[in-house]
C-alpha cells in the first residue's frame, strides 16, 4: 500500500532534502526512523528537492509498506523519534500509483528578508541593510506573468528538458521590518527562486531598472541575472495535488 506523509522541517542542520553520501539530509533521517518504527526497510520519495539550509513549512513524501498502518499512532510515534527540527503533520493512504513529485500541480515558496540586524532571525531570514523600493520590485515581479521560459534563473548544467514554468503568483508583502516574497508556479527550476529574489533586490536598490529586469528574462542567460540570495530565507510553503 502507498502512503503520503505531510511534514515540515527547519533546514539549518541538513544538507537539503535528498539523501547523499557523507552528508545528513532530511530524507535520510526520515527513512531511517520509518524503517525502525515499521521494522521494514522504507524508501521515501519527496515532492521535490530543497537545497542545503532551505526550510519547508509543507512538504510531502510517499512510501510503500506491505502492511496496514494506523496513521495517528504512526504519526505520534515518528514525532517522538524524530529530531525537533522535523515534524510530521499526518500520514494517509493513497492510490497505489499516486506520486508526490509527478502528481503535484503547483508549488509555492516564500523568501523572508529582515531589514536590519536581528540575532534571533539569523537562521530564518536574509538580513540586509539597504533601503528597498518595494513598489518597483512588485512592478518587476508582475512581468514574470507574461513569460514561460525562465532559463535565466536556472542553475547551470541541470538535467531538465525544458525551462518552461507557469508562474501564477509573484508578489512582495511588506510587514514592517520583514519583507516576504510569495511565488507560486506549476514547477520550479533548480535555484530559481533564490535567483529571482537576488535579481529583484537589484531592482529594489536601483542597480537594475524594471525594463532591465525584463531584458534579463528575455536573455535566457543566467549571467545577466542577479546573485542568488542565501538559503536560510527560503521556505517551501505549499504543494498542491488534485486529490489531497
Instruction: Write down the domain spans for the chain.
Output: 2-94, 106-240
Specify the range with the lowest mean pLDDT, choosing from 59-63, 85-89, 161-165, 231-235.
161-165
Alpha-carbon distance of 115 to 152, in angstroms, equals 27
Tell me, yes or no, if the two domains 2-94 and 106-240 fold the same way: yes
Beta-carbon contacts of residue 109 (< 8 Å; ≥ 6 apart) = 182, 183, 184, 188, 193, 234, 235, 236, 237
pLDDT, position 158: 73
- pLDDT tens by residue, 83-135: 999 999 999 999 999 999 999 999 999 999 999 999 999 999 999 998 999 99
Residue 231: half-sphere exposure toward Cβ, Cα within 13 Å: 17
Average pLDDT over residues 65-79: 94
CATH fold of 2-94 reads Alpha-Beta Plaits (3.30.70)
Q: One of 51, 96, 149, 186 is an active-site residue; which one?
A: 51
User: What percent of the chain is modeled with pLDDT above 70?
Assistant: 100
Active-site residue flag, 51:
yes
Average pLDDT over residues 188-196: 96
Alpha helix ranges (H) inside 82-188? 134-143
Residue 31: half-sphere exposure toward Cβ, Cα within 13 Å: 17
35 backbone dihedrals φ, ψ, rounded to 5°: -65, -40
Cα 101 to Cα 22, 59, 117, 143: the distances in Å are: 25, 10, 37, 28
pTM: 0.95
DSSP state of 161: S
pLDDT, position 185: 98
- pLDDT tens by residue, 1-43: 999 999 999 999 999 999 999 999 999 999 999 999 999 999 9
pLDDT, position 160: 82
Average pLDDT over residues 66-90: 96
Q: Is the pLDDT of residue 194 over 90?
A: yes
Q: Exposure pattern of 176-200 as b/e (b: 16+ CB <10 Å)?
A: eeebbbbbbbebbbbbbbbbbbbbb
Alpha-carbon distance of 13 to 52, in angstroms, equals 8
- pLDDT tens by residue, 145-190: 999 999 999 987 777 889 999 999 999 999 999 999 999 999 999 9
Q: How many residues does the chain have?
A: 244
CATH of domain 106-240: 3.30.70.660
pLDDT, position 155: 87
pLDDT, position 156: 78
Q: How many CB atoms lie within 10 A of CB 68?
A: 8
pLDDT, position 67: 87
Alpha-carbon distance of 213 to 7, in angstroms, equals 35
pLDDT, position 161: 86
Amino acid at each position: 500500500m502507498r502512503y503520503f506523509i505531510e511534514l515540515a522541517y527547519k533546514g539549518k542542520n541538513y544538507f537539503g532534502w535528498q539523501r547523499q553520501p557523507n552528508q545528513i539530509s532530511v530524507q535520510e533521517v526520515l527513512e531511517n526512523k520509518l524503517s525502525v518504527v515499521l521494522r521494514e526497510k522504507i524508501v521515501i520519495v519527496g515532492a521535490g528537492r530543497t537545497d542545503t539550509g532551505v526550510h519547508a513549512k509543507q512538504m510531502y513524501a510517499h512510501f510503500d509498506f506491505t502492511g496496514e498502518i494506523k496513521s495517528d499512532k504512526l504519526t505520534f510515534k515518528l514525532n517522538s523519534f524524530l529530531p525537533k527540527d522535523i515534524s510530521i503533520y499526518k500520514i494517509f493512504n493513497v492510490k497505489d500509483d499516486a506520486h508526490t513529485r509527478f502528481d503535484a500541480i503547483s508549488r509555492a515558496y516564500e523568501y523572508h528578508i529582515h531589514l536590519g540586524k536581528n540575532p534571533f532571525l539569523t537562521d530564518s531570514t536574509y538580513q540586509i541593510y539597504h533601503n528597498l523600493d518595494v513598489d518597483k520590485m512588485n512592478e518587476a515581479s508582475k512581468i514574470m506573468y507574461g513569460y514561460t521560459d525562465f532559463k535565466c534563473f536556472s542553475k547551470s548544467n541541470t538535467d531538465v528538458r525544458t525551462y518552461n514554468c507557469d508562474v501564477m503568483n509573484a508578489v512582495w508583502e511588506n510587514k514592517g521590518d520583514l519583507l516576504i516574497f510569495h511565488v507560486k508556479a506549476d514547477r520550479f527550476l533548480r535555484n530559481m527562486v533564490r535567483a529571482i529574489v537576488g535579481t529583484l533586490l537589484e531592482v529594489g536598490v536601483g542597480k537594475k531598472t524594471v525594463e532591465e529586469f525584463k531584458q534579463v528574462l528575455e536573455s535566457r542567460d543566467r549571467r545577466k541575472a542577479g546573485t542568488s540570495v542565501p538559503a536560510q530565507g527560503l521556505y517551501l510553503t505549499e504543494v498542491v495535488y488534485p486529490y489531497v
